[in-house]
Amino acid sequence: IKPTGKAFSGNLIRQPLVHMERLELLRNVCRDTALRNLSHTAVSKFVLDRIFVCDKHKILFCQTPKVGNTQWKKVLIVLNGAFSSIEEIPENIVHDHEKNGLPRLSSFSDSEIKKRLNLYFKFFIVRDPFERLISAFKDKFVHNPRFEPWYRHEIAPGIIRKYRKNRTETKGLQFEDFVRYLGDPNHRWLDVQFGDHIIHWVTYVELCAPCEITYSVIGHHETLEDDAPYILKAAGIDHLVSYPTIPPGITVYNKTKVERYFSGISKRDIRRLYARFEGDFKLFGYREPNFLLN
């Protein structure tokens, strides 16, 4: 990460405060009984499968897709010693969990899991929940690379069959269909059929169990330029590895894009979507998207 004067202004002093406030907010929302159903989840195998382990440096990282996770996985792969630098890791190895030397927490025994959850440095990254859903939709159903045909050929038709209002339309999956599926209180029966593919759009609560697991730091995509160095320092690994340079503008919340995607969608569907993701908005301090709801 390039040393800029900015880093030394107020950020280094303010950072610990920002992170304390985030964790305090999280704890308060976790205690809010009105949000209980939206903030709590079991630490199931599904959650333990999301958490990657670096034993050498006692770090756990919970993966939240569409939030720059590939870069953090690369950082941990290097720390675990499978490769000596981030540049050397072939792209096809990063997500190949047989070859990348990054074990999942689910691969350990119950007592070993407990020990790591109690003692290790634990973190994950979030971003505005609706912007993340747009990113997942674009990535999986619009620009889907040729090696993941499953989304287009299995998941999209499944969602269209159940949620498309106008059956005669032959277009591929539209954002509207996707929103209707996500906001359906009975989305689970499709989720089961889709298996682990749902990690790209289920809530942060379901992925990382933030009210059950005591995380050390929660990074925000929108402030990653400050958060990434802070996480490396807090985890005690800033002298070993640096987070890859972030292209300018990539982490900024884009309200215009969110408005554009939601423009043709009924208020009822948006409200139902918000009702499902409200826990994510509240736990991590994202403002309710009133500009879409009213």
- Model confidence over 70-120: pLDDT tens digits? 899 999 999 998 888 899 998 888 888 888 889 999 999 999 999 999 999
Q: Look up residue 27 and give its two tokens.
A: 């704890």
Note the pLDDT of residue 246: 87
Predicted pLDDT of residue 8: 47
Regarding beta strands 121-126 and 59-62, do their DSSP bridges make them parallel or antiparallel, or are they unpaired? parallel
Residue-level pLDDT at 12:
59
Whether the model pTM is above 0.85: yes
d(CA 12, CA 28): 25
Closest CA to 60 of 49, 72, 51, 47: 51
Per-residue pLDDT of the chain (294 residues; tens, 9 = 90+): 444 444 444 565 678 899 999 999 999 999 999 999 999 999 999 999 999 999 999 999 999 998 988 899 999 999 998 888 899 998 888 888 888 889 999 999 999 999 999 999 999 999 999 999 999 999 999 988 777 889 988 999 999 999 998 877 778 899 999 999 999 999 999 999 999 999 999 999 999 999 999 999 999 999 999 999 999 999 999 999 989 888 888 899 999 999 999 999 999 999 999 999 999 999 999 999 999 988
pLDDT of 293 reads 86
Q: CB within 8 A of 22, min separation 6: which ones?
A: 218, 220, 284, 285
Is 78 in contact with 243 (CB distance < 8 Å)?
Answer: no
Which residue in this structure is represented by tokens 């981030």?
86
